[in-house]
Amino acid sequence: MTTGGARSNMTAGVAFLAMMALSAALLAGFFGTFHPALDSFSHFRIHLSVLTVLLALPLLASSYRLQAVAALVFAVASLVTTASALPRLWPEQAVARPTDQIVYSLLQMNLRYDNPTPKKVLSLIGHANPDVITLQEVSDMWVTELDYIKSAYPYRILCAHPDGVFGVGILSRRPFASGTDASCFGNGSMAMATIDLGGSEVDVAAIHLDWPWPRNQSRRIGELSEPLSLLGETALLAGDFNATPWSAAIRRVATLGDLRLMPSVGPTWLHRKLPEFLRFAGLPIDQVFSKGAVTIHSATRLESAGSDHLPVLVEFSLRPEAPKPEEGNATATVWLSRAAGADG
């Protein structure tokens, strides 16, 4: 065997081992319900799938072609499970706003605790003009900065984290429902308030979860299981979950709160040291859930305002509740039924 042939075989062997390692990591991510360590791999499913494909393609021309075909099929199938978060090659068709319902908006923002451009954030809020804002990384600096928009958003709850950095908050231009109290949970990891939207009460919650295993994400979800279960019949939960839509962590949150996950808007987080043109390689970890009478019409990523997360603007409306029969009418119906039976 020539030196060139030996080198080629060695390269193919290394590529094969790398492809199998990536496939194993990809497979582990599908078993995240068994242990949070396995779920950590799921968040990188897109990246692992693409890398597996790139390694498998040249191996189709080697002695590892059968293994390469199997890995290629598995990687493509795995990629399909993340389709909602993949960059779209064509514009998504706009959904017409309802003409018979009021359309409200919610702005989800991870502020970044040390954001160097806080005034840019306040300007973005003024331009978007949302009805409700859910916030994460509300550091001591942000408590002061948010006072500048207190007249526009007089109804608020800010939950401080023990480290003074990773607090959460809810700002609203709509009043909190009469007779209700806004609350903080999990050492400032979750804020909840009942907001009066045109006479309808909607529970709104802001949440910030830890990074996945080996960090404390799974334990934090467990600590917040009770407040998640306390969300009312009509509710919105938004936040930085540090978890992708297809992960076991997100499914667990949805189950605990009996919530529907909004379709992904695509990558919202990118490491602050990476250039913006690599946004497509970021992670879709800012999520919005809903339940009950909430109908979500659209969700859009807004421009960066100095955080490593993009803000997400969600438009939604509330379906009118079915009228409940009045007690007098119900009684009359019973009596009419009885009378009809007697006549028969």
Distance between CA atoms of residues 93 and 116, nearest Å: 36
Q: Please, which residues have CB within 8 angstroms of residue 256's CB and are 6 or more apart in sequence? A: 221, 224, 225, 228, 229
pLDDT one-digit tens code per residue, 102-149: 999 999 999 999 999 999 999 999 999 999 999 999 999 999 999 999
pLDDT one-digit tens code per residue, 203-244: 999 999 999 999 999 999 999 999 999 999 999 999 999 999
Q: Please choose, from the candidates 217, 209, 215, 218, the residue with its C-alpha nearest in 3D space to the C-alpha of residue 237.
A: 209
pLDDT for residue 341: 41
Task: Enter the pTM of the model.
Answer: 0.89
Indicate if the alpha-carbon torsion angle 281, 285, 288, 291 is positive or negative: positive
Helix axes 65-80 and 3-28, enclosed angle (nearest 10): 30
Q: Which two tokens stand for residue 46?
A: 């897109």
Distance between CA atoms of residues 131 and 129, nearest Å: 7
Q: Which parts of the chain register pLDDT below 70? A: 1-5, 87-96, 321-344
Contact 159, 188 (CB under 8 A): yes
Domain boundaries, the chain: 3-83, 104-318
pLDDT for residue 84: 79
Domain 104-318 top-level CATH class: alpha beta
Distance between CA atoms of residues 87 and 244, nearest Å: 15
